[in-house]
Chain A
Amino acid sequence: MTLDSDATAVASLALGALALPLADVLLARKRSLLGAQLTRERRGSYLAFATGLTIAIALLFTLASDGTGLPLDPNQPLATFDGLSRFLGAVTLGTALLTVLSTNRYLAGAGTRHGEYYALLLASLLGLVLLPACTHMVSLYLALELASVPGYALAGIRRDSPRGSEAALKAFLAGSVSSAVLLYGAALLYGATGELALLEIGLALDPGEPLALLGGGLVLIGLAGKLAIVPFHQWSPDTFEGAPVGVVAFLATAWKIAVLGALVRVLTLALAPAEEAFQAVLWALAALSMTLGNLAALVQRNTKRMFAYAGLAHLGYVVLGLRVGGAEGTAAVLFFLLAYAPAALGTFAAISALARDGRESDRLEDLAGLFRRQPLLALALAVCVFSLIGVPGTAGFVAKFQLFSVSLSQGVAAGDTGLVLLTALALANVALSAVFYLRVPVALFMREDSGTGPGGTPGSLDRAVLAGCAWAVLILGIAPQDAGVIVPGGDLLRLAQGAAGALY
C-alpha cells in the first residue's frame, strides 16, 4: 500500500510533465479545449492551476506514505523509499508548489510562454523528487540529469533577455561539467569496488585505497558543483541574477534540498567507511562556503545576488551538519532545510510580487518604504529575513540552535577542536550575515520610497504565499513540536529525527 502512494506521487508528476505541453497546445488553438479562444493570461492561469494541482496531488501522496515503501534492499538497489525520501520529497514538493503559486502573475507580466515553463518545471521536479530516493549511481545520475536539463532551460526561459541567456549558459556549462565529474567519480568507484549500488560500494570500499578516495572525492565535487558549494559556486550568482525570480526560488530551495538528499545518501551509504578522510573535505567546504558566501553577500546591491550568496552560506551550515553526521547531525540538517525553505521562498516571492511587466524589484532601493505601501507584505518579508538571520521566535533560530548544539555536543564528546572551531566560525558567520540581511528591514521600514522601482501591486496569490511562508516560519520557530498543522504527521522535529534515524 505505502509503496503505492510513493509511486503514485512520482507517477502523477511524470504524467503532469507529459500532459502539460499537450494541454497547452489544445488550449492555445482558436477553438480551444474549453470552447472559445483564451487569452494568454487566462491560459497561463489554467496551466498554473493544473501544475499546482499535480504538485499538490504528488505532495498528498508523499505525505500519505509512511516512509517504509521500499526499504534499503541489496536485491532492489536502484531506489529506496524511506523516511528520508519522504521527508525531503515532501519539502521539495511543498516549496515547488508555493513557487508555482507565486510566479503566475509575474509570468503573465513578463510575457513568458507558460506551457514550456510549467512543463519544464514539472519534469525537473520529477527528477528532484526521485533524487533523495536514489541509492544507485546510475539512477542517481539519471535523476540528477532529469532535474538538471530542464533546469538549464528554465534559467533561460526569458529568451529576449541577454542576462537570461547568460544565466542559462552558465548553469549549463557548470552543470554539465559537474555531471561529468560525478560520472567520472562513479566510474573510479566502480573501478575500485566493482559495484555501482551505493550500499555495495560502501561495503566494498577500502578507505586506504587512493583510487576509491579519488572516486569518492570526485562524486562529492560533482554534487557540490550542482549545489554551488564554494569553491564550485561561480555559476550560481550570475544564474540567479539573470534567471526569472520564480526559477531562482525553485533553484534556491526545492533544487538544493533535493540534491542535498542525494549527497546525504552518498555520504551515509557509499562513503561511510572512508568517513575520516571525507570529514576533512567537508570541513573545508563548510568553512569556505559559509565565510566566502557571507563576505560576498556583504557587497551586493542586487537582492537576488545577495540572497544567492547568502544561500551559499546557508549551504555551508548544512555541510557543517553533514560533517557532524550521524542520526543527530542528519536530523538537524533535515530540520534546517525544512526551516530554510519557507524563509528563502518568502524573500523570492516578495521580489516576484513587486515585479511589473517582467521588471523585477531586485535592487535594494526597490524595497525602500515598502512598509508604507504594503504593510503586511513588508512584515512577512521581514519575518522571513529575520528567520534567515536566526532571530529567536523564527524557524531559523530553532534550526541553527539545533544544528550548532548537535555539532558542539559532538565536538565536546569527541574532544574535536576542529569541529568546535568550525561551529564558532559558523556562529561568527551568523553574526556577519546580520549585517547584510538587516539592509532589507532597513529599506522596508526606515527608508523613503525612491519611486524608481517597478512598484507592481502584489496579487492575492502572492500575498497568500508570503503570508503562508511567514506563518510557517513563525510556527516552526515558536512551536516546532506542534507544527504538524503545516504537514500532517505531527512533531516535525521528531519527523526529521525519524527520517534521519532510518539511515543509521
Chain B
Amino acid sequence: MDGLAYLAERHLLTSIVFLPLAGALALLLLEVSLTALSSSIQRFSALTWRVFGLVFALLGLALAAELWLLFDPAAGGLQLVEHAAWLGDWGVSYYVGVDGISLLLVMLAAFLYPLALLASWGEPSERARHLVVLLSALQTGLLGALLSLNLLTFFVFVEASAVPVYFLVGLWSRRGSGAATRYMRLSALGSALLLLGILLLGSLHAQQFGATNFDLFGFGGAPGLIETELDGAGPWWTAQGFLFAAFAIALFIKAGLFPLHFWTPDATVESPPSASVLLAAVGLKLGAYGLVRFALPLFPLAAAAWAPWMCALGGLGALYAALLAVVQTDLERLVAYWSLSIMGLVCLGIFGLNPIALEGALLQMVHHGLVIGGLLLLSGMLAQRRAISRLGELSGLAGSMPVFAAIFTLLLLSAAGTPLLGGFSAAWLIFLGAYPSAPWLAAAAILTLGLLAVFAFWLLGRALFGALPGGGGRQLAELDLREKLVACSVALPVLWMGLSPMTFLGPVERSVGELLESMQRRGAAGMESGPEAAAQPRPGRGAGN
C-alpha cells in the first residue's frame, strides 16, 4: 500500500494515465492465470469485469479530484511535471505535466469514463470483458495524450488510442467493418502527416541546438522545441507555414473538424454508446487540444496568418453541420452532426487568437464533451429499450419517462446555447472573442445556434411531448436507478457551468494568458517587421471571410 501511496503522491499524473490500463491488464492476467491453474475456475463473469472496471475508473476519478485540488491556478505554468527518458538518444522522453488547458480536459475524461462504463452495463453481457479492456486502453491513450509534453509521446498516445477505437467501432458495428476501416485509413493519413511535421521540426531543432529533443518545453537545461527558430532562410519545407499546415491538417482529421470530418458520424454511430462517448467527447478533443497545445505556440506567425481561414472553416463548418443535423432521421446520427457543429465553434474560438475566444473554446470543449457525451448515453439507453433510434418512431416519451425527458431537454437546450446553461457561457465567450476580427463568422455562429435551438424545440416537442398519429405516446420503461445516476451526473456540471462558469475558467485563465504571451514573444522574435501580427489579429483583417 505504501508503494501505491507513493505512486499517487509522487507520480500523480503517471498514475492517472496508466491506472485504467493497468487495472484492466491486472484483471486479465489474474483471469488467465486462475483459469490456467485450475480447470474448475471459470472465466470471470461479466459482472466481475464491470464492477472491477468501474472500481478502477472511480479510483481514477479520485486521483483526478486530487489533481484538481493540488493544481494551483495562481501559480500558472506547468505543474506536477514528470520526466524520464524513453528513447533517449532520439530525444523521446516520457514528459508529462499539467496546466490549466490540459487540466480541464483531463477532468472531463476522468469524469466521463466511469459514467461510460456504468452506462455499458445495460449492454449484452457476453462482450463485457472486451469492452472493459478496450475502453481502458482507450482511456489511457486519451489521458496520456492530454498530459504529454513531448511531441513524440503525444503522437504515440494518440495512436495508441486509435487502435482500441478501431476495434470498438469494428467489433460493435452493426454494418460490417466499413466504418472502422474508413476511420483507420483517414487516421493513418493524418498520423503520417503529423509524424512528418514532428520529425521535421525535431530535425530543425537538432540542427540548431545540436541534439534531438522532442520535448515541447525545455527540461533540465535542454532547450525545447518551442525555442526552435523557424524563420531561417531554409527550403520551403522548413517554413512555418508548411509545418503549420502539416500539423493543422493532421489535427483537423483527428478532431473531425470540417472539411475533414466525414469519418466521425459513422464512427460515432457504429461504436457501442459507451465507446462513442469517449470517442466523441474526449477523442475528438485530442485534435483540438493538439492545435492549442502544440500548433499555436510552435507556429505563432503561421497560425496568425492562417487564422482568418481557420475561423472561416470553423464558422462555416458549424453552420454546415447544423444543417446536416436538422435533416437526420436517426437520433445518434443527429447527435454526431450536432457534435460536429459545436466542434466548429471550438475551432472558431481557437483561431480567434485572443484570451476571451480561447477561453470560450476551452469551455466549449468541456461543454461539448458533457452534452454530446450525455446525449449519446441517453440515446444509447433509448436504443437499449427499443433497439432502434429512428426519430420518426419516437413520440410522447415524456409521459412514460419523465426523468429521461427532463435530462434530455436540459442537455439539448444547453447544446443549442440556451442561457443559464453551460452552452451559453461557452458560446457567448466565443462570439465575444471572435466578433472583433470576424464579425460575419460570429454572425454565422449565432445563426447556427439559432437554427439548432429552433430545431431542438421542434425535436423536443415531437419526441418527448408529441403524440403518435394513432394518439398516445410510446410506453417505455423509465430509467432505472443506474441510468438515472448516469444521466443526472452528466447534467449537473452542465447546469453548474451555466450558473458559474468561473469554476471552470478559473484554472484556465492564467494558462491561456501564458500561451498567448509566448506566441507573441515568439512571433516578435521571429519577425523583424510588424510584430503585432503575431498574437492579436488586427481588427478588420479577415473580416470578409
Once the chains bind, are A392 and B171 in contact (CB under 8 Å)?
no
Whether, in the assembled complex, B192 has its beta carbon less than 8 Å from a beta carbon of chain A, the answer is yes
Given A409-B206, A434-B185, A446-B170, A391–B159 Cβ distance below 8 Å? yes
Given A405-B212, A409-B212, A434–B184 Cβ distance below 8 Å? yes
Once the chains bind, are B204 and A412 in contact (CB under 8 Å)?
yes
Inter-chain CA distance A430–B87, complex, in Å, is 21
Whether, in the assembled complex, B160 has its beta carbon less than 8 Å from a beta carbon of chain A, the answer is yes
Once the chains bind, are B176 and A446 in contact (CB under 8 Å)?
yes
Partner of B177, one of A405, A413, A423, A446: A446
A369-412: CB near B (< 8 Å → 1, else 0) gives: 00000000000000000100101110001100110110011011
Inter-chain CA distance A413–B184, complex, in Å, is 33
Whether, in the assembled complex, B81 has its beta carbon less than 8 Å from a beta carbon of chain A, the answer is no
Q: Which of A395-441 contact B (CB under 8 A)?
A: 397-398, 401-402, 404-405, 408-409, 411-413, 415, 417, 420, 423-424, 427-428, 430-431, 434-435, 438, 441
Once the chains bind, are B177 and A392 in contact (CB under 8 Å)?
no
Min distance, Cβ A152 to any Cβ of chain B, angstroms:
38
Once the chains bind, are B171 and A446 in contact (CB under 8 Å)?
yes
Inter-chain CA distance A412–B243, complex, in Å, is 13
Once the chains bind, are A420 and B89 in contact (CB under 8 Å)?
no
B172-201: CB near A (< 8 Å → 1, else 0) gives: 010011001100110011011101100110
Q: Which residue of chain A lies nearest to B89 when distances are taken between CB atoms in the complex? A: A493
Whether, in the assembled complex, A359 has its beta carbon less than 8 Å from a beta carbon of chain B, the answer is no
Given A402-B90, A438-B184, A446-B177, A412–B203 Cβ distance below 8 Å? yes
Chain A residues whose CB sits within 8 angstroms of the CB of B192 once the complex forms = 427-428, 430-431
Once the chains bind, are A392 and B159 in contact (CB under 8 Å)?
yes
Partner of B155, one of A392, A409, A438, A441: A392
Inter-chain CA distance A23–B334, complex, in Å, is 72
Min distance, Cβ A478 to any Cβ of chain B, angstroms:
9
Min distance, Cβ B244 to any Cβ of chain A, angstroms:
16
Whether, in the assembled complex, A363 has its beta carbon less than 8 Å from a beta carbon of chain B, the answer is no
Once the chains bind, are B181 and A438 in contact (CB under 8 Å)?
yes
Once the chains bind, are B203 and A397 in contact (CB under 8 Å)?
no
Chain B residues whose CB sits within 8 angstroms of the CB of A40 once the complex forms = none
Once the chains bind, are B156 and A392 in contact (CB under 8 Å)?
yes
Interface residue tally on A, bucketed by range: 35 or more
Q: Which residue of chain A lies nearest to B186 when distances are taken between CB atoms in the complex? A: A431
Whether, in the assembled complex, A184 has its beta carbon less than 8 Å from a beta carbon of chain B, the answer is no
- Chain A binder among B100-108, B234-242, B302-310, B322-330: B234-242
Chain B residues whose CB sits within 8 angstroms of the CB of A415 once the complex forms = 234-235
Chain B residues whose CB sits within 8 angstroms of the CB of A397 once the complex forms = 156, 159
Chain A residues whose CB sits within 8 angstroms of the CB of B238 once the complex forms = 412
Whether, in the assembled complex, A463 has its beta carbon less than 8 Å from a beta carbon of chain B, the answer is no
Once the chains bind, are A405 and B160 in contact (CB under 8 Å)?
no
Chain A residues whose CB sits within 8 angstroms of the CB of B88 once the complex forms = 481
Chain A residues whose CB sits within 8 angstroms of the CB of B173 once the complex forms = 446
Chain B residues whose CB sits within 8 angstroms of the CB of A447 once the complex forms = 177
Given A412-B200, A423-B196, A431-B192, A417–B235 Cβ distance below 8 Å? yes
Q: Which of B88, B152, B191 has the most CB of A within 10 A?
A: B191
Whether, in the assembled complex, A442 has its beta carbon less than 8 Å from a beta carbon of chain B, the answer is yes
Inter-chain CA distance A386–B162, complex, in Å, is 12
Q: Which residue of chain B lies nearest to A417 when distances are taken between CB atoms in the complex? A: B235
Min distance, Cβ A102 to any Cβ of chain B, angstroms:
23
Partner of A434, one of B156, B188, B234: B188
Whether, in the assembled complex, A342 has its beta carbon less than 8 Å from a beta carbon of chain B, the answer is no
Whether, in the assembled complex, A190 has its beta carbon less than 8 Å from a beta carbon of chain B, the answer is no
Q: Which of B85-142 contact A (CB under 8 A)?
A: 87-90, 92
Whether, in the assembled complex, B42 has its beta carbon less than 8 Å from a beta carbon of chain A, the answer is no
Inter-chain CA distance A31–B497, complex, in Å, is 88
Min distance, Cβ A226 to any Cβ of chain B, angstroms:
30
Inter-chain CA distance A415–B207, complex, in Å, is 11
Q: Which residue of chain B lies nearest to A402 when distances are taken between CB atoms in the complex? A: B90
Whether, in the assembled complex, A46 has its beta carbon less than 8 Å from a beta carbon of chain B, the answer is no
Inter-chain CA distance A389–B90, complex, in Å, is 21
Inter-chain CA distance A431–B206, complex, in Å, is 26
Once the chains bind, are B87 and A480 in contact (CB under 8 Å)?
yes
Chain A residues whose CB sits within 8 angstroms of the CB of B155 once the complex forms = 392
Min distance, Cβ A213 to any Cβ of chain B, angstroms:
28
Once the chains bind, are A442 and B212 in contact (CB under 8 Å)?
no
Whether, in the assembled complex, B454 has its beta carbon less than 8 Å from a beta carbon of chain A, the answer is no
Once the chains bind, are B195 and A404 in contact (CB under 8 Å)?
yes
Partner of A445, one of B159, B170, B195, B234: B170
B209-250: CB near A (< 8 Å → 1, else 0) gives: 000100000000000000000000011011000000000000
Q: Which of B394-435 contact A (CB under 8 A)?
A: none
Chain A residues whose CB sits within 8 angstroms of the CB of B199 once the complex forms = 401, 404-405, 408, 423
Inter-chain CA distance A435–B181, complex, in Å, is 8
Inter-chain CA distance A401–B180, complex, in Å, is 25
Whether, in the assembled complex, B167 has its beta carbon less than 8 Å from a beta carbon of chain A, the answer is yes
Once the chains bind, are B203 and A405 in contact (CB under 8 Å)?
yes
Once the chains bind, are B188 and A431 in contact (CB under 8 Å)?
yes
Once the chains bind, are B200 and A408 in contact (CB under 8 Å)?
yes
Once the chains bind, are A408 and B203 in contact (CB under 8 Å)?
yes
Chain A residues whose CB sits within 8 angstroms of the CB of B195 once the complex forms = 401, 404, 427
Min distance, Cβ B539 to any Cβ of chain A, angstroms:
38
Whether, in the assembled complex, B542 has its beta carbon less than 8 Å from a beta carbon of chain A, the answer is no
Chain B residues whose CB sits within 8 angstroms of the CB of A481 once the complex forms = 87-88
Min distance, Cβ A335 to any Cβ of chain B, angstroms:
11
Whether, in the assembled complex, B163 has its beta carbon less than 8 Å from a beta carbon of chain A, the answer is yes
A488-504: CB near B (< 8 Å → 1, else 0) gives: 00000100010000000
Chain B residues whose CB sits within 8 angstroms of the CB of A409 once the complex forms = 202-203, 206-207, 212
Min distance, Cβ A443 to any Cβ of chain B, angstroms:
9
Given A392-B160, A427-B195, A405–B202 Cβ distance below 8 Å? yes
Once the chains bind, are B185 and A493 in contact (CB under 8 Å)?
no
Considering the complex of A and B, which 5 residue pairs feature the smallest CB-CB distances, nearest first? A434-B188, A412-B203, A392-B156, A431-B192, A427-B192
Interface residues of A (CB under 8 A from B): 386, 389, 391-393, 397-398, 401-402, 404-405, 408-409, 411-413, 415, 417, 420, 423-424, 427-428, 430-431, 434-435, 438, 441-442, 445-447, 480-481, 493, 497
**Can you identify 12 A-B contacts, CB atoms within 8 angstroms?**
A401-B152, A402-B87, A412-B207, A412-B238, A415-B234, A420-B200, A423-B196, A427-B193, A441-B166, A442-B181, A445-B171, A481-B87
- 8 further contact pairs, Cβ within 8 A, besides A405-B90, A446-B173, A446-B176: A402-B87, A409-B202, A409-B203, A409-B206, A411-B203, A413-B206, A442-B180, A481-B88
